[in-house]
Amino acid sequence: MAESNSPITQKLFSLSMFFRARLLPALAFGILSATLLVVAIGAAGLGAEILASSAATNPADAAKTGSTGLGTFLKRLETTPFSAAAVRVRADFPWLLDGLRSFYLVTLIIAFCLPLRWLLSSGAMSFVQHHCATEVQKLRQAIHRKAIRLEPADLTAEHSRSTDRLFGETATELEACASDWGQRWISGLPDLVMCLTLALVVDWRIGLQVIIPVILCWFVLGLEFRRTESSSRLLLEQVDRGLRRLAESLRKARIVCGFSMEQTEQHEFEKNLNQYQQRKRLLEHQTRSGWWARRFLLLFCVVVPGMLLARQILVHGRLSVAAAVIIGLCALFVYRSLTTLRSTGQSYVEAIEKVEEIGAYISRVPLVSQVAGARFLEPMTRSLQFDQVNLSMPQQPALLRNLDLRISAGERIALLSLNPVSAYALASMIPRFADPDSGQVLIDGQDIRQTTLESLRAEAIFVGGNDSVFNATVLENISCGQADITRQQVQDACKLVHADNFIRQLPKGYEAVVGEHGLPLDVGQAFRLSLARAAVRQPAILMIEEPDAVLDQETKAMLDDAYQRLCQGRTVIFLPTRLSTVKRCSRIVFIHEGRVVADGPHESLVRSNDLYRHWEYIHFNEFRTDAVAE
């Protein structure tokens, strides 16, 4: 079994967790459930003893009535009317009535113990499930906190996909494995201990003689099962590989016909087909032999203890029927408990990879952090400068290479690149969603890494074209729950970006709940909501990534007017998808192979720069939609 000492493993896959306050009731329920099991086993042994005694000759009653045991009782019933039978039973067979009363009492005990045991087991499992769900919930909270710190630096959204999988699928599977592991331990271990104890208390010598072969059979069965499974898996892979080889020959028809290889190909096909059939028959033989081997071991596990118990009863007379039944049932439940506990290893092995994956994610160090002694950043008044900036990514090395760029306060800039990640990465460095590998980003000559993240991100806000809408009211979406932003400020910001009109048409206006569980918004409405969220904070630098979706003419006109208003008194950097936005920018910065290769207005670059003309053509030529459709 794989070993792991991570905190997650200690909380979900450690026997010590059952001694924590939260799981003490589960432990108590498990022990009480096992106690009820041994009580039921003892009652079953007593019932067997009563039946055996009732079927035997009763000498005292025989002397009085001239009858012998149950056989005489049945003959008397055959010759006696039913009404008189009851009188005769009470008079002639009082021992039988006592036996029936005792057996009835034993039956009641068993009928009481087993349902109560089921309730206690269900309660214990419920506590275990709740514990596992709580711990996995904490893991999801940790993943969420870490994602907030890590994902802004995920420029290609690759890590966000793996984070979604960790948060959803991996965490759910981990919870299922942990619940299964805990439930098997809380049900199997107390049963095992109690049944072993009861068998040894009844007769420790005979108990050991019976239970040791059972344990040996369980162990050998486990080895046989693993051997058969491993061998069958190997043969199955060979069979699948042979079948794929046969299927590959079907795709060579043109070559075979073209070069007159029919006879050679047929010979090769028949050879591969025979190999496939041989391996398939071997797999079937392996499966059947493994099945029979396991059945033989199970039969041995039943016959040997049964013969030992029968020998002690019939030959030596050292064991009563009750003791034999109790030891036999204890051996049965010992085997059952061991089988239950063995499967915990499989649950652990399945979970350990998920534990390590989640643990590795949670322990990741964010690439962006605030330095000790960071200073408050004042709003930009002079310039934003990129000085010898370098940035590499595993999938895209040399994304930015010694890039130099200076943007004066109040400019309206369009950042463009053939590789859209380059422009996106450069804009993401301003609010420090990502840091350069080397070089500096300066605001008014101050390195932004020496400033507080809070003050920087208050003055440099990034609006994404595909930003999500929170499952909250419109007011909460824009204010983000900040008490210092008033309702009037929110409304003013919405009017600025032409969002107020459609918001007031919603059923509850600014109190309408939007998002996945609320009212749906189209792309243009959601984008204007994002613009309002940024405008209400009045940042000095605003980065706007336009949405990729096609917008209607009315939305485009409103956005053009909103851009004009937003650009008043602040520096705005666009990552545009519309040519009209590019043309309205006073300056276009074009990045290629990590460097600035063009810088100027649209009219100048479209005449003088081949790369810019190429970018314009592939994004805005009249045939681009036909190419996409094809």
Spatial CB neighbours of 403, under 8 Å, sequence gap ≥ 6: 386, 388, 389, 390, 426, 439, 591, 594, 595, 596
Q: Write the DSSP assignment of 427-441 as a string of letters.
A: HHTTTTSS--SEEEE
SS3 468: coil
Helices (H) and strands (E) in the chain, counts: 22, 12
Q: How many residues does the chain have?
A: 630
Fold of 7-362: ABC transporter transmembrane region fold (1.20.1560)
Structural domain spans, the chain: 7-362, 383-467+533-629
Most confident listed range (215-224, 482-491, 514-523): 482-491
Cβ atoms of 9 and 352 closer than 8 Å: yes
Cut 0.85: pTM above it: no
Cβ atoms of 427 and 571 closer than 8 Å: no
Cβ atoms of 573 and 413 closer than 8 Å: yes
Residue with the larger pLDDT of the pair 550 and 69: 550
Q: What is the tens place of the pLDDT at every residue in 284-321? A: 777 777 777 777 877 877 787 778 777 777 666 677 88
Q: Rounded to an integer, what is the distance from CA 273 to the centroid of its chain?
A: 41
Q: What is the tens place of the pLDDT at every residue in 362-419? A: 888 777 888 888 899 999 999 999 999 999 887 788 889 999 999 999 999 999 999 8
Look at residue 207 in the predicted model and tell me its pLDDT. Answer: 84
SS3 384: strand
At 511, the amino acid letter reads E
Report percent pLDDT > 70 for the chain.
Answer: 86
Distance separating alpha carbons of residues 432 and 397, to the nearest angstrom: 20
- Asked if residue 344 has pLDDT above 70, the reply is yes
Cβ atoms of 24 and 302 closer than 8 Å: no
Look at residue 100 in the predicted model and tell me its pLDDT. Answer: 59
Nearest CA to 338 among 222, 225, 227? 222
Q: What are phi and psi of 619, to 5 degrees?
A: -95, -25
- Asked if residue 93 has pLDDT above 70, the reply is no
Strand 513-514 and strand 472-473: the pairing is antiparallel
Average pLDDT over residues 345-351: 85
Q: What is the tens place of the pLDDT at every residue in 499-516? A: 999 999 999 999 999 987
Residue with the larger pLDDT of the pair 563 and 156: 563
Q: Give 103's pLDDT tier (boundaries 50, 70, 90).
A: low
Look at residue 70 in the predicted model and tell me its pLDDT. Answer: 47
Look at residue 102 in the predicted model and tell me its pLDDT. Answer: 63
Look at residue 308 in the predicted model and tell me its pLDDT. Answer: 79
- For domain 383-467+533-629, give its CATH number from 3.30.70.260, 3.90.1260.10, 3.30.565.10, 3.40.50.300: 3.40.50.300
Residue 80 DSSP class: S
Look at residue 531 in the predicted model and tell me its pLDDT. Answer: 94
What is the residue-averaged pLDDT of the chain?
Answer: 82
Residue with the larger pLDDT of the pair 589 and 21: 589
